[in-house]
């Protein structure tokens, strides 16, 4: 594969120096003939006759093979024409003759880039270091040399400690186009969506494949509402597969060259796409979107003005009104003066994967990740070798459980002059530093009596911090829902629909490692006399009736329900298992119910709307024949009177 072209902007700036900086007496040759040929090349270059200048310099070097300035100038002309294999020996000859002279220090910088691209990392680091020791004046050159040195030193160590990385192409059923790229999956890994181009004179479209009996089915165009005769580019999807944001560059009303659009799925139908608006899109280029699991946070790439580099990562959040807020750069330490592309936010909503040219790596675009902490984004971590190589690595998707990575493997045939890209997967290497893993809870929401499928709001809270982690809705057509839960926390899940009694579920993932998927179908009961639910997120210490602090999320949901339904009167009831005496259990159940009752009173719920009772062990839900069953029987219930 042809080596990546050197960035030539700084070389063009150097040309006046290369052309005119040396006086005749300072040149490293005593041959008047060689000097005359060198001066001839100066005039030819000034008139942009570079081929003739090359010929003159070659003759000068033939006259005096140690003519350093002629080697130096000839190397720069070859670099300008991307003939790096011809430039390298001339720069090497230059620095061999004039190793410590500042006038030729840029030869070291060029050699550092060439050696790096040839994967001669020790030589690259040494050349960059030599350039820096010759005290270059330009901050841009210094930054370039420091980046090469840091990347070369990183590459040396990375190769010494390779990862267990064995990518495999996905099935030929999926890789059926000339090019397919940027794969994304739903949270349950049963739906794969990607962008494909069928070949010459074909536009980009979005395709979808589902798994049946563990096998990917033939991909189909996702929807006539999305695909057009123009280009539909990279896309992202929420964990439940119901919100998609994609790139479109032609044929739609837009703010700039490429804009981001949003569409929603109901049943099997996708809605007409809507431009995300001026809060996200700009007169410049927006692409490569990445949605959080619940579809409320969006990362994307833009080359708009005011960024740190050519392409930067930006983020926008959806507010309580369902509108996208003003996009902002994620800033340092993620964005750099170089390009960052292809962000992907993991299902834990804390780990951002992305590709960058600006952080130390193996060359070109490397894949990195950064974890979000209390102080912001952490220092990006290179995924390592051979996940990253000297070639560009982009388009990474990591499953919620952290076990699989999906990406695009690109090849280029120099003889044919065209490239291909295929979808591939790999097991995430164990040596990659751990990040929080997630998995899904999914099922259907329906009416407890009629079994009608319901569109309900589903909110996930961290009950320690009372932070809203995710907020989704169930599908109005089939009642399906999916939400991601991440290890390391304790969660309360609330399912709400107007006219129905809310339902609460509890998940303790504090000690869970690699949590397993859960399928729970949720029945909602209409608000009518006799309807009752268990309050699964009310907590007491063993044998005690003082409410634990983490109960506040559930208590506040009760208050919210009472405020939304001012006509409702309820009974708070306490229940225990059969451990201990009947009287002690009765007393404990009464006191626990009273604790909830008192909290609601103190929070402004009218006394005439509340009663509390204790039933002790008299009304078990399941037999008290195991600790798991006893835990179920220890409960607080909420019943409509």
Parallel, antiparallel or unpaired: strands 340-345 and 328-329: unpaired
From the number of C-beta atoms within 10 Å of its C-beta (0-12, 13-18, 19+), residue 39 rates as middle
Which two three-digit tokens encode residue 480?
Answer: 């399906």
Report pLDDT for 19: 45
Give the mean pLDDT of the chain.
Answer: 91
Over 70: is that where the pLDDT of 148 sits?
yes
How do residues 100-139 score in pLDDT, each as one tens digit?
999 899 999 999 999 999 999 999 999 999 999 998 878 8
What pLDDT is stored for residue 512 in this prediction?
77
- Judge whether 235 and 254 are in contact, CB under 8 Å: no
Instruction: Dump pLDDT digits (tens) for 543-552.
Output: 999 999 999 9
Q: Is the pLDDT of residue 583 over 90?
A: yes
d(CA 563, CA 570) in angstroms, rounded, equals 13
> In terms of Cα–Cα distance, which of 360, 305, 361, 354 is closest to 334?
354
Tokens of residue 367, six digits: 């894949």
Q: What are phi and psi of 611, to 5 degrees?
A: -135, 160
More confident residue, 218 or 202: 218
Query: Residue 145's pLDDT band (boundaries 50, 70, 90)?
Result: very high
Per-residue pLDDT, 414: 56
Residue 611, pLDDT above cutoff 90: yes
Query: By percentage, how much of the chain surpasses pLDDT 90?
Result: 81
Question: Tens of pLDDT along 423-478?
Answer: 999 999 988 888 899 999 999 999 999 999 999 999 999 999 999 999 999 999 99
Q: pLDDT tens for residues 318-373?
A: 998 999 999 999 999 999 999 999 999 999 999 999 999 999 999 889 999 999 99
| Confidence at residue 372, expressed as pLDDT on a 0 to 100 scale | 95
Q: What is the Cα–Cα distance from 371 to 389, expressed in whole angstroms?
A: 23
Stretch 27-36: mean pLDDT, rounded?
A: 90
| Lowest mean pLDDT, pick from 18-22, 158-162, 324-328 | 18-22
Say what the pLDDT of residue 24 is: 53
Q: What percent of the chain has pLDDT over 70?
A: 94
**What is the rounded average pLDDT of the residues 297-303?**
97
Q: 177 is written with which tokens?
A: 């186009």
Q: How far is CA 212 from CA 3, 209, 216, 223, in A?
A: 42, 10, 6, 20
Q: Which residues contact 134 (CB under 8 A, 6 or more apart)?
A: 100, 102, 105, 108
Is 5 a residue whose pLDDT tops 90? no
Instruction: Note the pLDDT tens digit of each residue in 414-431.
Output: 555 566 889 999 999 988
Q: How confident is the model at residue 418, as a pLDDT? A: 62
pLDDT at position 56, please? 94
pLDDT at position 224 over 60: yes
Q: Would you give the distance in Å from CA 116 to the centre of its chain?
A: 28
Q: How far apart are CA 640 and CA 529, in angstroms?
A: 5
Exposed/middle/buried for 489, CB within 10 Å: 0-12, 13-18, 19+? buried
CB-CB contact of 363 with 154 (8 Å): no
Q: Which pLDDT score is estimated for 201?
A: 64
pLDDT bin (cut points 50, 70, 90) of residue 394 is: confident
Burial class (CB in 10 A: 0-12, 13-18, 19+), 29: buried
Mean pLDDT within 519-529: 97
Span 45-63, average pLDDT:
93
Position 13 scores a pLDDT of 40
More confident residue, 634 or 18: 634
pTM: 0.90
255-284 pLDDT, tens digit each: 988 999 999 999 999 999 999 999 999 999
- pLDDT level of residue 532 (50, 70, 90 thresholds): very high
**Does residue 412 register a pLDDT over 70?**
no
Whether the pLDDT of residue 90 is over 50: the answer is yes
């Amino acid at each position: 594969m042809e080596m990546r072209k050197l960035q030539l902007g700084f070389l063009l700036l150097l040309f006046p120096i290369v052309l005119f900086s040396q006086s005749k007496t300072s040149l490293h040759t005593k041959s008047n003939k060689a000097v005359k040929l060198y001066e001839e090349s100066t005039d030819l270059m000034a008139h942009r006759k570079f081929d003739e200048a090359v010929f003159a310099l070659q003759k000068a070097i033939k006259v005096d093979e140690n003519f350093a300035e002629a080697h130096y100038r000839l190397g720069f002309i070859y670099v300008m024409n991307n003939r790096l294999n011809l430039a390298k020996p001339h720069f090497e000859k230059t620095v061999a003759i004039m190793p410590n002279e500042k006038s030729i220090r840029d030869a070291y910088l060029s050699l550092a880039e060439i050696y790096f691209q040839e994967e001669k990392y020790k030589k690259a680091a040494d050349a960059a270091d030599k350039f820096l020791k010759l005290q270059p004046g330009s901050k841009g050159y210094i930054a370039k040399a420091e980046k090469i040195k840091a990347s070369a030193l990183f590459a040396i160590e990375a190769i010494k400690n390779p990862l267990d990385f064995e990518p495999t192409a996905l099935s030929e059923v999926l890789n059926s186009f000339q090019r397919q790229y940027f794969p994304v999956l739903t949270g349950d890994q049963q739906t794969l969506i990607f962008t494909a181009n069928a070949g010459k004179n074909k536009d980009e479209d979005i395709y979808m494949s589902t798994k049946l009996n563990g096998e990917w089915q033939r991909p189909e165009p996702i929807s006539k509402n999305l695909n057009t005769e123009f280009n539909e580019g990279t896309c992202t999807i929420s964990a439940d597969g119901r919100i998609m944001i994609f790139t479109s560059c032609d044929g739609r009303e837009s703010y700039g060259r490429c804009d981001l659009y949003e569409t929603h799925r109901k049943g099997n139908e996708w809605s007409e796409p809507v431009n995300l608006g001026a809060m996200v899109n700009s007169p410049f280029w927006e692409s490569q979107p990445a949605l959080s699991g619940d579809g409320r946070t969006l990362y994307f790439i833009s080359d708009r003005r005011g960024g740190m580099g050519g392409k930067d990562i930006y983020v926008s959040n959806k507010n309580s009104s369902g509108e996208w807020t003003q996009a902002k750069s994620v800033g340092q330490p993620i964005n750099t003066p170089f390009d960052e592309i292809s962000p992907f936010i993991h299902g834990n909503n804390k780990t951002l994967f992305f590709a960058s040219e600006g952080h130390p790596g193996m060359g070109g675009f490397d894949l990195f990740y950064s974890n979000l902490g209390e102080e912001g984004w952490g220092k990006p971590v290179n995924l390592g070798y051979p996940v990253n190589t000297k070639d560009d690595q982009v388009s990474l998707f990591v499953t919620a459980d952290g076990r699989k990575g999906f990406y695009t493997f690109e090849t280029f045939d120099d003889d044919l002059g065209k490239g291909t890209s295929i979808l591939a997967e790999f097991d995430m290497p164990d040596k990659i530093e751990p990040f929080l893993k997630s998995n899904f809870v999914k099922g259907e929401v329906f009416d407890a009596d009629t079994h009608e499928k319901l569109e309900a709001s589903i909110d996930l809270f961290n009950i320690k911090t009372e932070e809203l982690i995710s907020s989704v809705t169930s599908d109005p057509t089939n009642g399906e829902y999916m939400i991601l839960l991440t290890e390391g926390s304790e969660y309360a899940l609330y399912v709400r629909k107007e006219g129905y009694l809310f339902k609460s579920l509890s998940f303790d993932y504090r000690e869970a490692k690699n949590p397993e998927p859960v399928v729970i179908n949720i029945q909602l009961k209409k608000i009518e006399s006799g309807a009752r639910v268990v309050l699964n997120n009310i907590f007491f210490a063993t044998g005690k009736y003082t409410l634990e602090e983490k109960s506040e999320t559930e208590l506040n949901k009760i208050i919210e329900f009472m405020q939304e339904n001012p006509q409702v009167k309820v009974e708070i009831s306490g229940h225990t298992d059969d451990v201990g005496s009947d009287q002690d259990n009765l007393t404990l159940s009464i006191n626990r119910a009273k604790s909830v009752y008192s909290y609601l009173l103190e929070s402004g719920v009218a006394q005439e709307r509340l009663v509390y009772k204790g039933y002790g062990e008299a009304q078990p839900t399941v037999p008290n024949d195991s600790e798991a069953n006893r835990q179920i029987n220890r409960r607080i219930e909420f019943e409509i009177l």
